[in-house]
Amino acid sequence: MATQPSLIVGGLSFEWNLEEGRFLFEGQDSVLFWTSTALKMFFDTIEEISGKDAANIVMESTGFRQGQLVGQYFSGMENVTVSGAAGLITNTYASAGWGLAEISEMDEQQKTLKVSLKNSWEHKINVAQGKKTGGCFLPAHYAGIFTELFGENIWYRVLHHQIEGFNETLIEYYPSEENIEKNIHRLAREKEAEEIQRLELQVEEKTAELNTLIREISSPIIPVLDDIVVVPLLGTYDEARAEELLVKTLQNLPRYKAKYLVLDLTGLNAEFTHQAAGLIDKLGTTASLIGSQAILVGISPHMSMIITETGLNLSKFQCFHTLQHGIHYALAQNGRTII
């Protein structure tokens, strides 16, 4: 099948070569897509994979860089001013199905202008997607075009989108230090901040879980025999942990009907401090107020020295070297013994 003759529309050529499966627009290989189906699926897939924020940056960056290519093409034409190129661009894009574009209020000295877009392919895709706000590909695309035509970085501000109920999308353009690289880096920093925040939250949650677990297993109350409970003291007790131990112990002594509270200090040997000595005194004294006699076991020579330095009188409690001796003492008070 022979190549079909070119069609001239608006002064622009369209050509098909069915033998080679080619479509040419102005002599360049081109591709035709259905807007509301194929291109919509393309946009949807980008958002699905990369997320909405990243997809916007992808579309904005792509639109801007493609616009730079177009701007370079028209800048290379002889005897074509920026205003002349603007007229050629709108005609070219209308012929290619990009919608109606009108460039107004152009000031070549200030390098500012406005562009109105009506029924663009991006608008049609956004409608098919059911979106409430317009996209950024075409606004950024024209910024890329005029960046090349003016020879200075041009950025944009969308005044309103057609999809918001207006007759057209209206964008203003002006020189700016804002560019796609900054937006890419800004998104990267935002994602890093979000990831850091997520990790911090995860650490806080895990720390809370760990603290809960520590509170559950730290200094457990162990009912060993009728009327006798043992509380082993382990590690270092700061103010919060000491308060937790005190409350937990005093709440559970009546539950076990404990007449004897055996405080095993063996696990405090290396961590014994003045604060720990005060905690023991407070715990034993308070327990006596609700009818439980405190018995201290596992006091080492090092602990004895610390207790003496504090000036606390722990001799008011029965003290034994080992846990076994303390339990035997408690049993003996009720006339019982272990056989």
Task: Report the pLDDT value the prediction gives residue 219, as an integer from 0 to 100.
Answer: 67
The answer to pTM > 0.75 is no
Q: Which two tokens mark 298?
A: 């596992």
Which one has a higher pLDDT value, 230 or 214?
230
Which is more confidently placed, 207 or 325?
A: 325
Residue owning tokens 């392919």: 121
Nearest residue to 259 (alpha-carbon basis) of 299, 220, 234, 225: 225
Task: Outline which parts of the chain fall under CATH 3.30.1380.20.
Answer: 34-178
- Residue 3, pLDDT above cutoff 60: no
Asked whether the predicted pLDDT for residue 2 surpasses 60, the reply is no
Q: Is the pLDDT of residue 217 over 70?
A: no
Q: Of 41 and 238, which is predicted with more confidence?
A: 41
Residues 6+ apart with CB under 8 A from 215: 241, 244, 248
Which residues on neighbouring strands pair with residue 29, listed in sequence order? 24
CATH topology of domain 34-178: Muramoyl-pentapeptide Carboxypeptidase; domain 2 (3.30.1380)
The boundaries of every CATH 3.30.750.24 domain in the chain are: 218-332
Q: So what's the pLDDT on residue 1?
A: 45
Written as six digits, the tokens of 325 are: 């001796």
Torsional sign, CA 51, 57, 63, 68: negative
Q: What is the mean pLDDT of the chain?
A: 86
pLDDT band at 215 (very low <50, low <70, confident <90, very high): low
Task: Please compute, for residue 167, the number of CA atoms within 13 A of its CA located in the half-sphere on the CB side.
Answer: 4
The CATH class that applies to domain 218-332 reads: alpha beta
Confidence of residue 26 (pLDDT cuts 50, 70, 90): confident
Q: What is the mean pLDDT of residues 180-186?
A: 79
Q: Record the tokens describing residue 232, joined without a space.
A: 């082993």
* pLDDT at residue 294, rounded to an integer: 93
Q: How far apart are CA 207 and CA 193, in angstroms?
A: 20
CB 125 within 8 A of CB 176: no
Q: Give CA–CA dist 192/315, Å, rounded.
A: 59
**CA angle in degrees (0–180, nearest 5) for 206-208-209:** 65
Q: Which residue carries 């720390």 as its tokens?
A: 207
Provide the pLDDT for residue 164: 95
pLDDT in tens, 283-310: 999 999 999 999 999 888 888 888 888 8
Burial of residue 69 (number of CB atoms within 10 Å: 0-12, 13-18, 19+): exposed
Distance (Å, whole) CA 331 – CA 228: 8
Strands (DSSP E) along 65-188, which ranges?
100-107, 112-118, 154-160, 169-175
pLDDT in tens, 119-145: 999 999 999 999 999 999 999 999 999
